Amino acid sequence: MVTKLDAARDAKLSALREVIAHKFEHPSNPGNKKIIIFTAFADTASYLYEQLSAWAKTELGIESALVTGSGRNQTSLPHLRKDLASILTAFSPRSKERPADLAHEGELDLLIATDCISEGQNLQDCDWLINYDIHWNPVRIIQRFGRIDRIGSPNERIQLVNFWPNMELDEYINLEQRVSGRMVLLDISATGEENLIEQQSGNPMNDLEYRRKQLLKLQDTVIDLEDLSSGVSITDLTLTDFRIDLAQYLKAHPGKLESLSNLPYVVFPIRCQHLAGS
């Protein structure tokens, strides 16, 4: 049954092809064919490149590239280097100020990427951005759109396209709320009191509820960072800070972590005393 689930039966992929073809036939800005497709997962990005690269070149006559940040970058241009800088420069030569002597490398119109380029990249030559999946953090969606929504864009209009899940977002999020409700009932039945930790937190709306409201807002409008409620930073609930700290520690203490055993742990003896009558 699983082997029958291939690209030929991928309705979402078919819809993506239709969106790309529509943009190619009806450009938002004259002569601009450029599209960025964002996905949160490198495997998904590789799958999309495999399914779209040859199709885009044959049917639409445009060149494409894949950027994942994990050494798996690819491009349909034979003379273009596969490093990040070369690919992004070929995709957005105006904003990246590509030297004239590199024009022979060619130009890209379709870029499939993960969030490795969602920050700090000027790609405003492009006027269309597609979110193939919705990141759980609304700030990341705004960061993605910020690659083309930038000062100095030559485009009169820019477009954001989101592929939302088939199921209603409220139904998906309500699962967490039902589980929380069961936990409250457990607290009451076990201790006779409500959850003191939740009361002391002073936060009436948890992070998941916050993101639900922000994602629902994104369905109707594109919000700016200034419009977000306070208390959520760009790196909120991501592993970026931890990775940076770990990298700095490895530089400061070379070989220390490698010398540790695979599972460092400490065992404490515990004595169990049985009370009379228990």
Greater confidence (255 vs 179) lies with 255
Residue 248 domain flag: no
Q: Tokens 């004259």 map to which residue?
A: 30
Overall number of domains in the chain: 2
Q: Domain range holding 213?
A: 169-218
Q: Are residues 197 and 126 in the same domain?
A: no
pLDDT of residue 88: 93
Residues 158 and 190 occupy one common structural domain: no
Q: Which one, of 10, 84, 16, 11, lies nearest residue 53 by Cα?
A: 16
Same domain for 18 and 154? yes
pLDDT class of 55 with cuts at 50, 70, 90: very high
In this structure, the answer to whether residues 76 and 157 fall within a common structural domain is: yes
| pLDDT-derived band at 257, boundaries 50, 70, 90 | confident
Q: Listing from the earlier edge strand, what are the strands of the sheet with 159-162?
A: 74-75, 64-67, 110-113, 35-38, 128-131, 159-162
At position 252, the amino acid (one-letter code) is A
| Cα–Cα distance, 144 to 118 (Å, whole number) | 5
pLDDT digits (tens, 9 = 90+) for 168-201: 656 666 665 666 666 666 665 655 555 544 544 4
Query: Do 109 and 204 sit in the same domain of this protein?
Result: no
- In this structure, are 32 and 88 located in the same domain? yes
In this prediction, residue 64 carries a pLDDT of 95
- pLDDT for 271 equals 55
For residues 187 and 153, membership in a common domain is answered with no
The CA dihedral of 76, 80, 84, 89, to the nearest 10 degrees, is -100
Condensed to tens digits (0 to 9), the pLDDT of residues 9-19 reads 888 999 999 99
- 119/203 same-domain check: no
Q: Is residue 252 part of a domain?
A: no
Which region among 50-54, 237-241, 243-247 has the lowest average model confidence (pLDDT)? 237-241
Rounded to 10 degrees, the C-alpha dihedral 202/206/211/214 comes to -40
* Percent of the chain clearing pLDDT 70 (strictly above): 67
Closest residue by Cα to residue 123 from 85, 91, 83: 91
Q: End of a domain among 178, 202, 218?
A: 218
Which among 134, 207, 146 is positioned nearest to 176, based on CA atoms?
207
Is residue 107 located within the same domain as residue 201?
Answer: no
Does residue 12 share a domain with residue 36? Answer: yes
Is residue 226 domain-resident?
A: no
Q: Assess whether 107 and 188 both reside in one domain.
A: no
Secondary structure E strands in 132-241:
159-162
Residues whose CB falls within 8 Å of the CB of residue 57, separated by 6 or more in sequence, listed in order: 63, 64, 76
CA-based angle 137:96:121, to the nearest 5? 10
Does 105 fall in a domain?
A: yes
In a domain, 237, yes or no: no
- Give the residue-averaged pLDDT of 54-69: 93
Is there a domain that residue 247 lies in?
no
Which pLDDT score, from 0 to 100, does residue 142 have?
A: 83
